[in-house]
Amino acid sequence: MSSVDPLSALLSDVRAEGSVVSHAVLTAPWTIRFADDAPLTMISVLRGGGVLVLSDGTEQVIGAGDTAVVSGTAPFHLADRPATVHGPHAAYEIACFGTGAECSGQELGGIQWSADSAGATALIVGAYRASGHRHERLLRALPPVLVVQEDAEVCAWLETAAVDAARLSAGSQALMDRLLDWALVCTLRSWFDRVGAGAPSWYRGLADPVLAPALQAFHDRPAQAWTVASLAARAGVSRALFAKRFTQLMGRPPLAYLTRCRMDEAEALLTDTDLSVAQIGRSVGYADAFGFSAAFKRHKGVSPRAFRAAAA
C-alpha cells in the first residue's frame, strides 16, 4: 500500500482548470481584477510586479520571482500601486470559472498581450476549484495571502513552459495546468516549512522523527484499531514518552487527534459521496453504524444523517 500524507490527501482533488498563461503589457496606471470565486488562486510573477489588494484592503507587494497564493472566494486586485484601484486606470479582468469565461489572455477593455515587449509584467496565473468538503481543512490552515520567493532557475523554467503553452499546441493547456498543480504543492510545502511552529499540527508532526512514523501509519490505515501503545510501537518509543511528545507538538492527546481526523474524513465522505453511514463508519475505524453515529454526534453535535441532509 502506498503512503499518503495529510497534505497530499488534502491536495489530491485540487486541480487547475484552464490556467491563464499570458505576458501582459501593462502601462501604469493599471489594475487586474480576479473574479473567479475560486477558493485558491496562485500568481507567479516572472518579470515586473505590483501590489495585491484584497477585498478587506490588505495589501501585499509581489515582485519578480514571487509566487503568491490567495485563499478565499472574494474578488481581489493586482495593481501597479494601491491607489490605482480607486483612481483612473486601465482595467483588466481574469475570470476562469464565470459563465462563458475561457480563462485565457482575452482582450478586455483594450488589454494587450505580448511575450516580448520591454517592461512587460509577466504573470502565470492558476485558479483552483476545491472539489469537496475535505479541502476546507487546508483552506483553514492558510492565511488570506502567502508569498514564497522562487529561485531564478525555477522562474526561467516556468516562463519557458508558459511561452510554449501560449502557442496553443496540442496538449499545451493540460500541460500548463499540471505544471501549476506541481507549483502549488511546492509553494505550499515551502511556506509550511518556513513558518515552522505556525504550520498546522498535522504538518509539523510529519517533520518530527518520533511522531512521523506513527502519523504516517495512521493516515495510511485510519480504519485500523489504533491505540496509544500501537502508535508508540510504530514510533519506537515508550507509551508515556510518545503520549507526552504527541500532546506537546500536536496540541492534543493521540486518541483525540485520531478521533478528530476520523470525524473530518467522515464529514468529507458524508458530503462528497453516496456511501452509507455504515460504510463510512467502517472506513474511519468503527465496527458498526451505531458506534460511528454516536461518536459523530458526540464530536459534531448532530447525527451523520442530519449532517448529510444539512450539507445537501
pLDDT digits (tens, 9 = 90+) for 214-249: 998 998 888 899 999 999 999 999 999 999 999 999
- On whether the CB atoms of residues 41 and 34 are closer than 8 A, the answer is yes
Measure Cα distances from 15 to 18, 77, 157, 179 in Å.
10, 22, 21, 10
* CA dihedral for 281, 286, 288, 294, sign (positive or negative): negative
Confidence at 270, pLDDT banded by 50, 70, 90: very high
pLDDT at 103 (0 to 100): 47
pLDDT at 96 (0 to 100): 58
Confidence at 150, pLDDT banded by 50, 70, 90: confident
Specify the range with the lowest mean pLDDT, choosing from 12-26, 169-183, 277-291.
12-26
pLDDT at 100 over 60: no
Gap between the Cα atoms of 149 and 187, Å rounded: 9
Gap between the Cα atoms of 146 and 48, Å rounded: 19
3 state SS of 133: helix
Which cell is 269 given? 465522505
Residue showing cell 499545451: 172
pLDDT digits (tens, 9 = 90+) for 203-217: 888 889 999 999 989
The torsion angles phi and psi of 135, rounded to 5 degrees, stand at: -80, -10
CA dihedral 75, 81, 82, 86 (to 10 degrees): -80
Of the CA atoms within 13 Å of residue 30, those in its CB half-sphere come to 19
Gap between the Cα atoms of 40 and 16, Å rounded: 10
Q: Which residues contact 74 (CB under 8 A, 6 or more apart)?
A: 54, 55, 56
Measure Cα distances from 307 to 180, 256, 267, 285 in Å.
34, 21, 8, 19
Q: DSSP states of 187-230 as a string? A: HHHHHHHHHGGGS-HHHHHHTSTTHHHHHHHHHH-TTS---HHH
Q: Which tops the pLDDT comparison, 216 or 171? A: 216
Confidence at 23, pLDDT banded by 50, 70, 90: low
Q: What is the pTM of this model?
A: 0.76
